[in-house]
Structure 1
Amino acid sequence: MQEPNSTALPTPRFEAGRTFWIAGLGGRFNLATNGGIPALWEAFGPSIGKVPGQVGGMTYGLCCNPRDDGSFEYVAGVEVSSPDGLPSSFRCIKVEPQRYAVFVHAGDVSTLHETFHRIWHQWLPASGFQAGHAPEFERYSADFDPVAGTGTVEIWLPVRGGADAAA
């Protein structure tokens, strides 16, 4: 079977994560329903820059709380200083420090699923690492514009084991 796209996956950098909170709108998805994630972003968009306690201008797509049925929770959100004072419709997830493999997504946001596919099905099995038991997330630069396709998108995958990569 041919891969979704022949674009090479860039070599990841490794980062030591920190504790932070992500708050926004969440929903439960699986591979068959994850086409609904853009609608979650559309609903959350007007809140960006107005979320109580928002830190910075980056936005996050957080994947967490997987279940045995293959479903996961996705939160379209921003970093906040604390979970206090958020609208009742918001989910707030605390991200604990982890070691991450960080991949810069090249291309339009509509091809993000292809980069995820290459990470999970090519890079991870060949890397000597295992996925960590923690949220993975997309981090969008403050200047990210999904319509124009400008800005930077990174995929942060928690990892454990593997070679001791310092790069």
Structure 2
Amino acid sequence: GMAGLEHLVSPLNTSVGPDGRITFSPPAGPTLAEARTAALARLDAAFADAEAGGRVLSSAGFVIDATERSNRDIAGLITSMEASGTPETTFCAADNSFHTVTLEQLRAMRLEVIAHGQALYARKWELRTAIESAQNVEAVRAIDINFDGVSAA
């Protein structure tokens, strides 16, 4: 039948017989290599989303962005405070609230951001290994590509 495959119907795989009966030949499913390639592309997209939306609960007591940009921003604050001898500065949390933080808190936050990034990479590599070692298309499709709950803990 064609149920659910209507979007694949074309003159190349459908014919109408003399009696008006329609014959549809569904296309073959993907090969293992094609399934792996598609899964790796989904993995790359999911990783990029997870990386761009990274957040962690900092040891300073509030949620901070945990992205490459936030890592750079925190590093810049640390450098600035070290150079000027400033004991505290204002920091904008992920929810756009402002907090007074010390140099030591910023150093800890930077390590937390770095650890979050490392945890994301560890999950990416785990999923990539699963995709590459899957023995058939069904096994590739069964891999749940997500970064839910990834944390540095």
User: Which one has the bigger strand percentage?
Assistant: 1
TM-score normalized with structure 2 length = 0.22
TM-score normalized with structure 1 length = 0.21
| Bigger Cα Rg | 2
Higher relative contact order (CA 8 A, sep 6+): 1
User: Which one has the bigger helix percentage?
Assistant: 2
